[in-house]
Structure 1
Amino acid sequence: MLAATPGRAPTSCDSNTDPGFGTGLVRGRAADVSFVLDQLPSKWDGSDVIDRSRIAMVGQSIGGSSAMATMLKDRRVRAGIDMDGTAYARIPKSGFSRPFMFLGSAEHVPGGRDPSWERDWKLLTGWKRWIVLSGAEHQSFTDTPLLADALGIEPLPGVLPAARAAELTRTYVAAFLDQHLKSQRQPLLDKPSARYPEARFCPSACAHS
């Protein structure tokens, strides 16, 4: 089962001393997801199709931010992906060992505008990946660019083409889920790929840009 919570990034800025809007928002999203996981296995007619041992959470923007927040509170979520969302939930200093992947735009390179991934990377003690897609922007991980293409809206110069962004996102998300929910090893996640040169593995291959 894939629990995903898409959303838009909040406009206010959080900090270590003033957690602010983002921290409260992801806390609420985490509670919502846990509620759904409580209800589905027992109160849904199709509950027999749910494998409770194979639950992951993937989201974009505040939905991605909520993935870690949920995993910190609910051990039923086995693996997670944050796609271009600021990491508002604070990982304890003892670390976090379940599989987690950051997949984002250039804003999230080491030394970039959002330092939260760099902060949390050091606290991820289990399987982890930090992948930045060259040319991606915040909406590249959604269907918005594809809809814009269909409407004839010209993309900004230098932005990853919509179809390619969708292909990259689907490919890396699917590989992550296959590896961590189906135990199917995915070499694509081990190192850069000549087929997908836009995908840079951080922190070593990501210069500040």
Structure 2
Amino acid sequence: MRRMLLAACAVLAAALTVSVPTAAARAEAPAPPPRAAAPELPAPTGKLPVGMAAVHLKDADRADPWVPGQRRELMVSVWYPAAKPSGTRAPYMTADESRTYLEAGAEDLPPQVPRDVLSTVVTHAGVRAAPVRARGGLPLVVLSPGFGMPRATLTGLAEELASRGYAVAAIGHNYEADGISFPDGPTTTCVACAHRDYPKVGAVRAADVSFVLDELTGGRPAWRGGPRLDPGRVAMVGHSAGGFSTVPAMLRDARVRAAVDMDGSFHFPNDTPLDRPLLMLGKPSRVPGGPDRTWDETWTELSGWKRWLTVDGTEHLSFTDLAPLGERLGLPQQRLDGDRADAVTRAYVTAFVDTHLRGRDAPLLAGPSARFPEVRFHRP
């Protein structure tokens, strides 16, 4: 996953860099083209403006599972519907997060590429905007990114859901990503990447989700001025490792009422029945009887509402921001147009949470749709 993102960063750096010619070259050559604009995420399609806050959480009761000499700490990005737009756009990543992430794969990155290049991506949320008032609290969607991937790679989906009235909390699972900046300490790296202990990753993330829910939906807000949340309406959506972590999270915590796995193989034991809704959304090879039998095994243990969908023309990263960003950088991540892949993800995840957190009828989940012919339903 990192190699594909690094290639995209190289293209971005080339687009944003303007060389300084010599005096002779200036006399002979035409003026250089204007500096290219930074890539922008697709705008959310909901009616509400979006606010965003980065929240630092400390679990004094738990040792960090990857660095046992420390207590568990998390950075969480929270998006929410705002009463009015903020004048300051939220950063995609901090410069330190971008630098740390890119340095982790420096052998694949040309030396002229600025290491803070990912901090230039344009978002659509305002920092610390005042939240809307919601009677009973906002429904909450927890996001968990892929293994080694920054939580920022799910920003587009978060902004979409927030513009439609959801609070969204993307968890930066400490030491499971290269590039998590804390306000009072260094930017951390992916210690867990050296182990590849996926069942442990699932168990750790399940504990992280429970802790985040305690902090965000408890008697006090996690930060002053934050939106009120409804602890009875919580869903989890994850990509890759975050996707397979939805099962242990639901088995551990009854507050997670429904979940979406976006192209994650299930590395957690699949022999425990689960009666809550689960949407499995993946690339074309994740078909029944395909190379990843963990989807078949998990499917048989789902006794509640369930759907198994694949999207033609997609790859593993197509369910993240890298689909539209790769398209803008001239480095598509899949055969399907990047903006189209992004639109599919937003539409089906939104339909899912609307159904299970708001009780709304979502015909999109009933079967194949003429609006999205690339989406295939499987019923093994």
TM-score, with structure 2 as normaliser: 0.48
Indicate whether 1:107 and 2:285 are aligned.
yes
Match runs of 1:47-126 below 5 Å? 49-93=228-272, 95-126=273-304
Other-structure match for 1:161: 337
Amino acid at match of 2:369: S
CA deviation profile, 1:10-55 (whole Å, cap 9, x unmatched): 9xxxxxxxxx711111111111111111111234235661001100
Tell me how far apart the structure 1 counterparts of residues 293 and 148 of structure 2 sit (CA, whole Å).
Answer: 15
Q: Which residue of 2 aligns with 1:3?
A: 142
Q: Which runs of 5+ in 1 are unaligned?
A: 11-19, 205-209
Quote the residue 1:149 is aligned against. Answer: 327
How far did residue 68 of structure 1 move? 1.2
Letter in 1 for 2:337: P
Using the alignment, how far apart are the partners of 2:241 and 2:332 within structure 1?
Answer: 26
Deviation at 1:112, TM superposition (A): 1.5
Stretch moving more, 79-88 or 41-50: 41-50
Q: Is the 8 A contact 1:60 1:85 kept in 2?
A: yes
What amino acid is aligned across from residue 8 of structure 1 in structure 2? Answer: F
Q: Which has the higher contact order (CA 8 A, sep 6+)?
A: 1
Cα separation, 2, equivalents of 1:74 and 1:108: 27
Cα RMSD over matched residues? 1.9
Amino acid at match of 1:110: P
Q: Does residue 369 of structure 2 align to residue 193 of structure 1? A: yes
Q: Higher helix share goes to which structure?
A: 1
Q: What SS does structure 2 have at the residue aligned with 1:108? A: coil
Alignment: residue pair count: 192
* Structure with the largest fraction of strand: 2
Asked if structure 1 preserves the Cα contact closer than 8 Å seen for 2:141 and 2:234, the reply is yes
Moved over 4 A (4+): none
Whether the aligned pair in 2 keeps the contact of 1:9 and 1:85 (CA below 8 Å) is no
**Residues 154 and 54 of structure 1: CA distance in aligned 2, closer, same or farther (over 3 Å):** closer
Q: Rate the CA distance shift 1:46–1:101 in 2: closer, same or farther, 3 A.
A: farther
Q: TM-score, normalised by structure 1?
A: 0.86
Query: Residues 79 and 99 of structure 1 are in contact (CA less than 8 Å); yes or no, is this contact kept in structure 2?
Result: yes
Q: 2:237 is paired with a residue of what secondary structure?
A: strand
Alpha-carbon distance change, 35 to 117 in structure 1, aligned in 2, over 3 angstroms: same
Identity of aligned residues (%): 44
1:182 corresponds, among 358, 365, 373, to 358
State the AA in 2 paired with 1:142. Answer: T
Change (3 A) 1:155 1:56: closer
Q: Where does the alignment leave 5 or more consecutive residues of structure 2 unmatched?
A: 1-139, 150-195
Distance 1:39 1:155, change over 3 A: closer
Distance in 2 (CA, whole Å) between partners of 1:92 and 1:149 is: 40
Q: What is the deviation of 1:110?
A: 1.2
